Homo-oligomer: A and B are copies of this chain.
Amino acid sequence: MSNRLTDMTWKEFASRTADTVIVPVGSTEQHGPHLPLGTDALIAEHLALDIADRIHGIVAPTLTYGYKSKPLSGGGPLFPGTIDMNGATVVAITHDLLRELIDDGVRSILVLNSHFENEAFIVEAIDLVTRETEGRATIMETNWWDPLPTDVIEKVFPEGGFPGWALEHAAVTETSLMLHYEPGLVHLDRYRPEPDARPLAYARYPVRSSDVPAQGGLASPLGSSAQKGRLIARSCVDAVERYCSTEFQSKDT
């Protein structure tokens, strides 16, 4: 049986409400000249399916539209194809989805986020639902970057070239994950070397076109590989499996 909720009949789902439901949350956002607009959503969905294999989880349909891409990160409205949801919209859809899962009897939910800007709004929805339902379900939120141990980062950037997460937009980690999961959608040949973006200690509005490198990525994707992507993915799945075991265990016994 598939682990995708989409593919299950209601009776199949009804027989598995004791399993953890995984909600992938991505975005539709420019990812440089070489990655598709669906990069975040695709990564979240693939990772969710891999985690589901490990923990016999159920993968809910991916939230493919995410919170606004920040001006000094993805460039916000500068690039066509970036589709920015308002914060209230992200809260609303996440809220309704979580509430319905809980009302259906689900007690362990993992929200897997692959677009940094989503985080605060997802967590707000989790908080609101937790209050409303008086904590009936355990809800965990994580992503694929925070769980990575230092040694993995060192392997991905063997010569110390890690530019910091703030610049890892359409750069080595995302490109490697896409080469691992969706190689047919990666066009590294279209990338022309240009200077990395400069991380700032502040946000400033309105955005100016010079805030983001012309091609859209913040740091170079050169050096990406499917092997690195597999390493990142496996490392993330390992860690999340551990977190689920810690946090959801009391529910399973």
Q: Which A residues are closer than 8 A to B by beta carbons?
A: 4-11, 13-14, 17, 28, 30-38, 41-42, 60-62, 64-65, 68, 70, 76-77, 79-89, 91-93, 95-97, 100-101, 103-105, 117, 119-121, 123-124, 126-128, 130, 135, 138-142, 146-147, 185, 187, 190, 201-206, 216, 239, 243, 247
Contacts and interface: CB of A to CB of B under 8 A. Distances in A.
B36 A8 contact: yes
Copies of this chain per assembly: 6
Contacts of A88: 88, 91-92
Nearest to A135: B206
Give the secondary structure class of A's interface: mixed
B130 A201 contact: no
Contacts of A68: 124, 127
A2 B10 CA distance: 32
Contact of A14 (B42, B81, B127): B81
A76 to B, nearest CB: 8
A104 to B, nearest CB: 4
A7 B38 contact: yes
B127 A5 contact: no
Contact of A141 (B101, B119, B141, B203): B203
A200 to B, nearest CB: 8
